[in-house]
Structure formats: structure tokens, C-alpha cells
Structure 1
Amino acid sequence: MTFSLYSLLEAGLLVVNAIAILNEERFLKKIGWGREHVQPGGAYYQQGYAPPQSTKAQIINLVNSVRTVMRFPLIILNAVTIVLLLLAG
């Protein structure tokens, strides 16, 4: 099997699928990656600036965003990928 752009896109699709199926109650909260673990800072809000976020908080926000925004596009992308794999063999 050769390395191609399609295989790279397919691997990216698999990673996004893996992020999208993470269950917050069963998995993320147990390891301390739930939404309530992201705490906004204090003095920055008084000045009108967003608080600096840690890497963990940014990853939690990314996981929640992927789960929210990519739900329906993932259904379509998965269906297209399955059809292409069936046609290509």
C-alpha cells in the first residue's frame, strides 16, 4: 500500500471519529477532562481580556467543539468514505 493523500485524509477522519465518540460521563470525567475542569480566570475579565488557558483546557475545548460541530459532517464524510472504499475495492 502506498502512502497517498487519500490515506492521509482517511487517517485524519479516523482520528476525528475517535475524538467524536468519547463519552464525557463514562470516560472524560473519570480522567479529569470534563467540562467543569475548565476554570476561567479572574482579573482578565475585569480588563476585557480572555483568560490564558492551559494546554489541558485547550484540548478539552477542542474535544467539546469537535463533538458539537462535527457531528453531521462526520456522518456525511464517513458515508462518502465507505462508498469510495466499496467502489475502489
Structure 2
Amino acid sequence: MALLFGFGNLIYTCVLLINAIAVLSEDRFLARIGYSSSTYDPAFGAGAEAQSMKGKVVNLISSVRTLTRIPLIAVNVVIILYELVFG
């Protein structure tokens, strides 16, 4: 039973971290610190292996915001309903 309890906390933590990434405002926060996809401009012809750490973080944030929008809504609804029913 303790293993399942730890697994639930891990799921909650992952969902909260993905929520935090998904709600970052690109105009207000990310552009101010230079992590906006509109302000990041890699060098011409730079391949995936030549991409900097900053470029990888910008791509990760953009991907998370794009790919997890609809599934994240469903997961949040399920977690909220679970917490309401089972406390």
C-alpha cells in the first residue's frame, strides 16, 4: 500500500510541474528572461547537435505547451474529481 501511496504523490508532482510549464506566459515572463520562441533565433544551418541548452529549453517549453494542453485539462479534471470523491 505504501508503494501505491508514493506513486500517487509522484503523479501529483508530475502533473503540477507540467501545469507550471503550461501556464507560463510567453509575453510576460518568458520573453523578459529571453526564453521565448519568438526571441530565440538559432544560427542558420545549425543542426540539432549544435543546438544550445537554451534552445533545448525553449523547444521543451513550447512542446509541453502545445502537446499537453488538451490531455492536461482531462488529467486535471480526473484528479479534481478523485480528490472530491475520495478526499
Pair in the same fold by TM > 0.5: yes
* TM-score, normalising length: structure 1: 0.83
On the 8 A contact 1:33/1:60 being kept in 2, the answer is yes
Percent of pairs identical after alignment? 40
Q: Give 5+ residue unaligned stretches, structure 1.
A: none
* TM-score, normalising length: structure 2: 0.84
Deviation at 1:57, TM superposition (A): 0.7
Distance in 2 separating the partners of 1:38 and 1:53: 11
Distance in 2 separating the partners of 1:26 and 1:56: 18
Root-mean-square deviation (Å)? 1.8
**Residues 1:30 and 2:28 aligned together:** no
Distance in 2 separating the partners of 1:23 and 1:12: 20
On the 8 A contact 1:19/1:66 being kept in 2, the answer is yes
Deviation at 1:42, TM superposition (A): 3.5
Aligned residues: 84
Distance in 1 separating the partners of 2:13 and 2:27: 26
